[in-house]
Amino acid sequence: MGKDNMTMKLYCFGESGHSYKAALALNMGGADWTPIKVDFFNGETRSAAYRAEVNEMGEAPVLVDGDIKLTQSGVIMDYLSEKTGRFGGNTPEERREILRWILWDNHKLSSLAGMTRFLMNFLPPEKQPKETIAFLQGRLAASYQILDAHLSDRTWIATDVVTNADLTCCGYLYYPEPFGFDRAAWPNIDAWLTRLSEQPGWKHPYDLMPGNPSERT
């Protein structure tokens, strides 16, 4: 059986915005896939077995497609675009513009949002580093400002249709836990998130992947 006939597996967990990007690309792209829950909060990604057998970097998401195994959400989305013809741009110029936003997001938006959300919601209050959180929120505000301004006169981030640029930048912005992002304060981002959530195959992260904070309370 060739890998095109096999169900792809995504190692992921509901709280992971980086996993959400890959899950969205799979679901909105109409792929045949199944989620494999990573027990992040009990240390699975830090285990020797996970690093030896799943991902040496000790992270999620991980995509397994037959004998192909890929890590890093941007790489996974690029592979899925090759496979499905969706979300990857139609010209070299479009592909570079999409890549520009993937790199920006991973450096300036999702990485900071994921860290801030973790510190504010998944650590006990007495262990939350208030100064660090305030610093990260300041950096994030600068990133929201860039994205909101970019979306002031366009429907989607990179081209005139949904692409991986949209799927990467939204990674943490639908989550309900507070991390200093107020949709109402950024009207262009707010409208874009609404548009994206109306696309076929879109689902909220806690509906798309196994695991959510309520299971640990």
List the domains of the chain with CATH numbers. 3-87+203-216 (3.40.30.10), 92-197 (1.20.1050.10)
Q: Tell me, what's the pLDDT at 16? A: 96
Structure tokens at 35: 């989620």
- Closest-CA residue to 179 (of 110, 126, 127, 106): 110
The one-character DSSP state at 33 is: E
What is the distance between the alpha carbons of residues 48 and 177, in angstroms, rounded to a whole number? 30
Query: How far is Cα 170 from Cα 78, in angstroms, rounded to an integer?
Result: 16
Distances (CA, A) of 151 to 31, 127, 157, 158: 28, 37, 7, 10
CA distance 21 to 73: 7
Token pair belonging to 92: 């070299």
pLDDT of residue 1: 37
- Consecutive 10-residue runs of the chain (217 residues): their mean pLDDT? 70 97 98 95 89 92 97 98 96 98 98 97 95 98 98 98 98 97 97 98 97 80
Q: Which residues contact 76 (CB under 8 A, 6 or more apart)?
A: 21, 22, 25, 61, 63, 70
Question: What is the identity of the amino acid at 195?
Answer: R
Q: What was the pLDDT predicted at 42?
A: 85
Rounded Cα distance, 33 and 50, in Å: 21
Burial class (CB in 10 A: 0-12, 13-18, 19+), 141: middle
Number of helices (H), then strands (E), in the chain: 9, 4
pLDDT value of residue 41: 80
Helices 187-197 and 130-150 pack at an angle, to 10 degrees, of 80
Find, among 182, 170, 179, 185, the residue nearest to 133 by Cα: 179
- In DSSP terms, 63 is beta-bridged to 10, 70
Q: Which of 200, 185, 183, 189 is nearest to 166 (CA)?
A: 189
- pTM of the complete model beyond 0.85: yes
DSSP 3-state of 68: strand
* pLDDT number for residue 2: 42
